[in-house]
Amino acid sequence: MRQSRHEAESDMTASIDGERSAAASRTAWRMAGRIGFYTLTCLIAAFFAIPLLWLISAPFDASPTYAVDFPEFTLANFATILANPYALPSLLNSVILAIGTAAFVVIGAALAAYALSRVRIPGRDALLYLLLLLSSVVTGTAAMVPLFLLVSEIGSAIHPMLGIDSHFAVMLVMSSGLLPAAIFMLKDFVDGIPPSYEESARVFGASPFRVLKDIVVPLITPGLATITVWTVVNVWGNFLVPFILLRDADRQPAAVLMRTLYTEAGQPNLALLATFSLLYSLPVVLMYLFVSKRYGFRFHGGIKS
Amino acid sequence: MTQIALTDLTKVFDGNVTALDALDLTIDAGEFFALLGPSGCGKTTLLRTIAGLEQATSGSIHLGDRDVTRVPAGSRDVAMVFQDYALFPHMTVLDNIGYPLKIKGQSKEARGDQSLRVGEQLGLAHLMERRPAALSGGQQQRVALARAVACHPSLFLFDEPLSNLDARLRLEARGFLKRLQRELGVTTVFVTHDQAEALALADRIAVMESGRIRQLGTPREVFRRPANTFVANFIGSTPMNLIDGTVAGGVVEVAGGRLPVPDELAGVLPSDMKVIVGMRPEYVRLSAQPAEGSIAGEVAILEHLGATTLVTVDCAGEAVSATVPEDAEPEPGDRVHLAPQPGRMLLYRHDDGELVEPRTGDSA
């Protein structure tokens, strides 16, 4: 009897010890797992952060390489780039193209999204999806030759504004590529406005345009801000369309100018490229900060803005 | 003060759904008029057609002596209050009330003064700078009313104005609405699916079903003498007893008993005519003693309604209900006798459910 009790006690201690060591090893594993996880995320973060670090440090370096170094501090690169007769005008061209295209896209998308949201036509959704599908073709690489011919042969014949070397023509082409997706995004916002708001205004005598101006536009401002930013970013980064449609170096935007920053030996001029890239990215960053502060980026209608 | 005249008004949606079916209706100047019916009966379509938000398929609408059938919504001089109030969320209360005036081209000062005055009149003075989202349901409703009042229309249209309020607030708003309409004297049409609301507010009620008006009358007429079994079923907080019966000489055989034929119909009904006997529970007397002209049954269910109790009695397989004062409740299982109050029993034709009237009572 006594013997068996003793055995039972020792069994119990053993099992408690066992549990303790199991718990300890579980904790250790969890710790190891965490450490592994954070190491991995740090590596991934570094992978993306290093090019950005290079972008920030290289412009201030007298002789930048592909490596991220602590720079030999100098502002000479900025002086050199400002001396380039095309550098600042190209940034201005980028601004003109971005603002112009954004205006076309925002106004066009607001009108179209409102109409598509409120008017019942058969096959409306099919039309929208078809447009969305085809829009990727318009500014896609495959359409570049027909697009060039369209602008240089037909556009130029109608009016120089629609021909080669016209900012207006570039805006039209890029708007047509961006509009379907913009309409698609904005329609979600318009769909969220109860029809009774507009009907109420209509009964009080408001014209359709008045309803759009007084009721619909103020209520979809976050959506308009979203597509404005999205359009500007798209235009700002687009190389192919302005490269093909603008032959005159005075009219080319920054994205196109970038390709000319080479040394006499035909090597990329890293100092100038980095400096110009920094200048090139600043306006977009500033715009993000401004819009984010003003409207706050949120999830809207399932589309991350 | 504007009279509304609808003539042969028809609205067909998508070529096959008839929402309004050749309606003829005249609403008098200054009247508080209710369109009552179950959902899908066309009442809201009728209101929206009067407002101009829907185009009539055929027929005409006259406001006063103007034919407005083809006049666009904004030019009819009407104000509409929507079920969800449709307050503009990006405008303050002041701007919301002033919006119709802004459309009419009034200056900022003029419409500010006007909005403030109307807002004060409706008890909103302390809320003028708030956005609609910061208001309670009752306050939102008053802002919507103020917006309608501020533009001095010749006609108010209310689409379920009280249905978004909770029960207690609804009673309060009901009194408020009625007082406001009295004070302004503007012709008002409102849509509701709540028969109690229609009975309480309206000068006259049109009960609608599938795009037609089933009965038109004062709340009292509609409550006392529903023109057909549809209206009889729809009106009243406790549903009317509608029991199949057969005429046999001077009495109607119903639910295992015999009730005398109403006086005004005596002698004009053919024997063996199939009828539906209609009695409101409020107009049925319940007694423990057998009496002449009553039906007998066993008490099945008691439902407490506050000051009264609804007693459902099983009379030869038919459930007949009666209301009794709370202190005169029978016990379930009691044997009781039910008799309609004199002049409150109605007979409907079995085939089409229409009320048997003295003049038309000879034909079945």
Question: Cα Rg for chain B, rounded, in angstroms?
Answer: 24
Contacts of B89 in chain A (CB under 8 A): 219
Give residue A226's domain range: 84-294
Average pLDDT of the residues in A258-281: 85
Q: A4 pLDDT band (50/70/90 cuts)?
A: low
Region B10-27: mean pLDDT is 89
Chain B contact set for A205 (CB, 8 A): 73-75, 100, 103-104
Residue with tokens 């250790």: A28
Is A102 part of any domain? yes
In terms of DSSP H, where are the helices of chain B?
43-51, 93-103, 108-121, 137-150, 167-184, 195-201, 219-224, 229-234
pLDDT tens, position by position, B144-177: 989 998 888 899 999 988 888 888 888 888 888 8
* A187/A253 same-domain check: yes
Burial of B267-302, coded b for 16+ CB within 10 Å and e otherwise, reads eebeeebebbbbbbbbbbebeeeeeeebbbbebeee
One-letter identity of residue B89 = P
Q: Spell out which residues of chain A touch residue B99, defining contact as CB-CB under 8 Å.
A: 201, 204, 214
Residue A71 lies in a domain: no
Same-domain status, A250 and A213: yes
Q: Rounded to whole angstroms, how far apart are CA atoms B158 and B155?
A: 10
Of A194, A204, A207, the CB nearest to B100: A204
Q: Which residue of A has its CA nearest to B81?
A: A200
How does B87-96 read in b/e, with b if 16+ C-beta sit within 10 Å?
Answer: bbebbbbbbb
Taking residues A13-26, report their average pLDDT.
Answer: 76
Best CA proximity match to A233, nearest among A109, A99, A140, A104: A99
CA-nearest residue to B89 within chain A is A219
Reported pTM: 0.76
Domain identity same for A56 and A91: no
User: How many residues are present in chain A?
Assistant: 305
Are A165 and A107 within one domain?
A: yes
B237, two tokens: 């907080």
Question: Which chain B positions have a beta carbon within 8 Å of A197's beta carbon?
Answer: 86, 88
With an 8 Å Cβ cutoff, are A200 and B86 in contact?
Answer: yes
In the predicted structure, residue B30 carries a pLDDT above the cut 80: yes
Compare A304 and A62 and report the one with higher pLDDT. Answer: A62
Q: Is the pLDDT of residue A2 over 70?
A: no
Q: Say if residue A31 is in the same domain as residue A131.
A: no
Distance from CA of B80 to the nearest CA of A (A): 7
DSSP label at residue B228: B
Residues A163, A122 within the same domain: yes
pLDDT at position A228, please? 92
Nearest CA in chain B to A221: B90
pLDDT greater at residue A1 or residue B329: B329
Return the number of other C-beta atoms located less than 10 Å from residue A210's C-beta: 16
Residue B204 host element (H or E)? strand B204-209
Using CB atoms, pick whichever of B76, B86, B99 lies closest to residue A196.
Answer: B86
Number of domains in chain A: 2
Is A222 part of any domain? yes
Domain boundary among A27, A45, A60: A60
Same domain, A27 and A115: no
Instruction: Report yes or no on A263 lying in a domain.
Output: yes
Q: A9 falls in which pLDDT band (50, 70, 90)? A: low
Provide, as residue numbers in chain B, all residues whose Cβ is less than 8 Å from the Cβ of A203.
51-53, 73-74, 76, 78-80, 157
pLDDT over threshold 80, residue A69: no
Determine the pLDDT at residue B46. 92
Q: Which of A121, A200, A295 to mutate to test the interface with B (most CBs of B within 10 A)?
A: A200
Does any domain span residue A303? no
pLDDT score, position A167: 93
On whether residue A54 sits in a domain, the answer given is: yes
Least CA distance to A195: which residue of chain B? B86
Answer for the pair B147, B97: CB distance below 8 angstroms, yes or no: yes
Average confidence (pLDDT) over A182-189: 90
The per-residue pLDDT for range B300-311, each reduced to its tens digit, is 999 998 889 999
Q: Which residue of A has its CA nearest to B150?
A: A204
Cα(A117)–Cα(A141) distance, integer angstroms: 31
Residue numbers in B near A210 (CB within 8 A): 103
- Does a structural domain hold residue A154? yes
For residues A116 and A187, state if they share a domain: yes
Res. B219 pLDDT band, cuts 50 70 90: very high
What's the whole-number mean pLDDT along residues B16-25?
Answer: 89
Closest CA to A60 of A71, A51, A49, A69: A71
Same structural domain, A232 and A173? yes
pLDDT, greater one: A264 or B90: B90
pLDDT at A305: 32
Share the mean pLDDT of chain B: 88
Using the beta-carbon criterion (under 8 Å), do A194 and B86 form an inter-chain contact?
Answer: yes
Name the residue facing A206 among B74, B90, B157 (closest C-beta): B74
Highest mean pLDDT among A15-29, A138-152, B103-117: B103-117
What percent of chain A has a predicted confidence (pLDDT) above 90? 36
Specify if A49 maps to a domain: yes
Q: Say if residue A186 is in the same domain as residue A141.
A: yes
ipTM entry: 0.80
Minimum distance, in Å, between the CA of residue A297 and any CA atom of chain B: 19
* Same domain assignment for residues A117 and A231: yes
Domain with A204 in it: what CATH number?
1.10.3720.10
Most confident of A132-136, A257-261, B44-48: B44-48
| pLDDT over 70 at B363, yes or no | no
Query: Which residue among A194, A199, A214 places its CB closest to the CB of B53?
Result: A199
**Does A48 lie in the same domain as A158?**
no
Under an 8 A CB cutoff, do A206 and B151 touch? no
| Per-residue confidence (pLDDT) for residue A161, from 0 to 100 | 85
